[in-house]
Amino acid sequence: MSKDLFQAPDYYQIDDLLSEEHKLVRDAAREWVKRDISPIIEDYAQKAEFPKQIIKGLADIGAFGPYIPEKYGGAGLDQIAYGLIMQEIERGDSGVRSTASVQSSLVMYPIWKYGSEAQCEKYLPKLASGEFIGCFGLTEPDHGSNPGGMVTNFKDMGDHYLLNGAKMWISNAPFADIAVVWAKDETGRIHGLIVERGMEGFSTPETHNKWSLRASATGELIFDNVKVPKENILPKKSGLGAPLGCLDSARFGIAWGAVGAAMDCYDTALRYAKERIQFGKPIGSFQLQQKKLAEMITEITKAQLLAWRLGVLRNEGRATSAQISMAKRNNVDMAIKIAREARQILGGMGITGEYSIMRHMMNLESVITYEGTHDIHLLITGLDITGLNAFK
């Protein structure tokens, strides 16, 4: 890949809305991505391999549990700082951001919010430092958008639980040390269980042949009569609302992350348009290319403001799940459209690994599907504004 010359677009001076701490955290993440992600990521995406050596760097910039209290090893930051870290990481690659958001919002968050004090003390510091990597098992082969239909289940055997079933499309699964797994008890109620690598009957085969999110490891979780110690159940919340509550936190991070991917595509296309000469002029001087670039910066600016406002609402504890859905849906859709337009501005060069755009575009095909598809988020907004459920 050519040298990372990224300059962050801030057309509406949104930096003025950030605190000094926000800017420090953001700049540290930005520098780290430039130094440790940009030079290697294309190669790892081509090889379809997660670069495990970056785990320590992710921990060092506070990407594992940014808002988890410091007493558990987290960074103790607010929601806007969390969002900014996700934005910067996804500026580098959505797959790397996936690892960070799964670890923070889908593994540390449920342990922190629904776990016992003993579980928090046992797992959170190791997850914050990157000594442990976690994954989150909700989706099943036959239950994606409809997780409430899950069939993975556990039975109370007196001194332990016996877990059976399978999860699919699980980020980080192939190398995760622990999995937060959602399964039904004998009454059909959903609970979270912490399953550790090495438990007999637990395997995590990798999913191959992905054209998207290639630098992120995706896999299955298979439970064949796994004996889970009773102390590994998350005691403080059960029901479908428990995993969905984690998704709120992860979707919020994605709303910011997608802005990062879009900023990178726009910045690359803008620079290229000013340098590339055709018909004796920079292609950026043609109205058709200017239209693309002007619309991109307009959409990025709107998405930045949406993410920032959502961060303020989350800091105040006032953001609704439906507001989070709107931001996830809008910002990912915005990013994927910008990636497609930016790719065109680069002409043939746009399809090569010399530039990040095609990788972002392909990654965003996963991002628009996971954590609730584009359609599902629209239906969440539809339900919120009409009171009428169009899911079923």
Return residues touching ligand TGC (CB under 6 A): 98, 101-102, 136, 138-139, 145, 147-148, 171, 239-241, 244-245, 247-248, 250, 321, 370-372, 376, 380, 391
Count of chain residues binding ligand FAD (CB under 6 A): 22
149 token code pair: 């239909």
Q: How would you class 3 by CB atoms within 10 Å of its CB: exposed for 0-12, middle for 13-18, buried for 19 or more? A: exposed
The nearest distance, CB 368 to ligand FAD, in angstroms, is: 9
Q: Does 381 bind ligand FAD (CB under 6 A)?
A: no
Q: Which is nearer to ligand TGC, 97 or 292 (CB)?
A: 97
- Is 371 assigned a catalytic role? yes
Closest distance between ligand FAD and the C-beta of residue 242, in Å? 13
With CB under 6 A as the contact rule, the residue among 53, 145, 290, 298 that binds ligand FAD is 145
User: Contact letters (x/-) for ligand FAD, 81-110, by CB under 6 A?
Assistant: ---------------------x--------
**C-beta closer to ligand TGC: residue 176 or 300:** 176
Report in angstroms how near the CB of residue 267 gets to ligand FAD at its nearest: 25
CB contact at 8 A, 270 and 285: no
Q: Interface with ligand FAD by CB under 6 A: which range of 7-15, 21-29, 82-90, 166-174?
A: 166-174
Residue with the shortest CB distance to ligand FAD: 144
Q: Which does 375 bind (CB under 5 to 8 A by kind): ligand TGC, ligand FAD, none?
A: ligand FAD
**Residue 85 to residues 14, 23, 78, 82: CA-CA distances in angstroms?**
16, 10, 11, 5
Min separation Cβ 3 and ligand TGC, Å: 28
Residue 153 binds what, of ligand FAD, ligand TGC, none (CB under 5 to 8 Å, by partner type)? none
Catalytic position from the list 88, 220, 341, 371: 371
The reply on whether position 373 binds ligand FAD by CB under 6 A is yes
Least distance in angstroms from the C-beta of 251 to ligand TGC: 8
**Of the residues 103, 139, 232, 249, which one makes contact with ligand FAD according to CB under 6 A:** 139
Which CB, 78 or 220, lies closer to ligand FAD?
A: 220
3-state secondary structure the chain: CCCCCCCCCCCCCHHHHCCHHHHHHHHHHHHHHHHHHHHHHHHHHHHCCCCHHHHHHHHHCCCCCCCCCHHHCCCCCCHHHHHHHHHHHHHHCHHHHHHHHHHHHHHHHHHHHHCCHHHHHHHHHHHHHCCCCEEEECCECCECCCHHHCCCEEEECCCEEEEEEEEEEEECHHHCCEEEEEEECCCCCEEEEEEECCCCCEECCECCCCCCCCCCCEEEEEEEEEEEEHHHECCCCCCCHHHHHHHHHHHHHHHHHHHHHHHHHHHHHHHHHHHCEECCEEHHHCHHHHHHHHHHHHHHHHHHHHHHHHHHHHHCCCCCHHHHHHHHHHHHHHHHHHHHHHHHHCHHHHHCCCCCHHHHHHHHHHHCCCCCCHHHHHHHHHHHHHCCCCCC
Paired with 324 in beta bridges are: none
CB of 245 to ligand TGC, least distance (A): 4
Q: Is 325 in the site for ligand FAD (CB under 6 A)?
A: no
Binder to ligand FAD among 48, 232, 366, 380 (CB under 6 A)?
A: 366
> Min. distance of Cβ 10 from ligand FAD in angstroms?
30
219 in contact with ligand FAD (CB under 6 A): no
- List contacts with ligand FAD (CB under 6 A): 102, 135-139, 144-145, 169-171, 213, 218, 366, 369-371, 373, 375-376, 379, 391
Active site residues: 371
